[in-house]
Amino acid sequence: MMIRTTFQEVKLTGVKNVRCNMCSKKIRRQYTPFQTLSPFNKKKNGEVKTRNDIMAELKEKIEKWKKEEERCKACIAKLPRLRYSAC
């Protein structure tokens, strides 16, 4: 029998209500970063991250993400599809 250790995930969900940077339509976005609470998830000083350490980092990530500009689906569809061109 194999013993599997599962580590707990620490998640945090951020929501933002912004306007599309092309057409100003209101959009709502959600983002859920997570990290694992495990002996391998360490801080720069080598200490194992606690739940609070992880939460602080997730909050920071969300704050950064909140400042990013967003575009609605319609505007994304209107953009030239450079990335998908096959030839």
Which residues of the shown chain bind Zn ion in the complex (CB under 5 A)? 20, 22-23, 25, 72, 75
Please check whether residue 30 is in contact with residue 15, taking contact to mean a CB–CB distance below 8 angstroms: yes
**Nearest to Zn ion of 56, 74 (CB atom):** 74
**Nearest to Zn ion of 43, 78 (CB atom):** 78
Half-sphere exposure of 21 (CA within 13 A, CB side): 7
Residue 78 CB, nearest distance to Zn ion (Å)?
A: 8
Q: Are strands 34-37 and 8-11 parallel, antiparallel or unpaired?
A: antiparallel
Residue 61 CB, nearest distance to Zn ion (Å)?
A: 25
Please check whether residue 23 is in contact with residue 31, taking contact to mean a CB–CB distance below 8 angstroms: no
Residue 36 CB, nearest distance to Zn ion (Å)?
A: 36
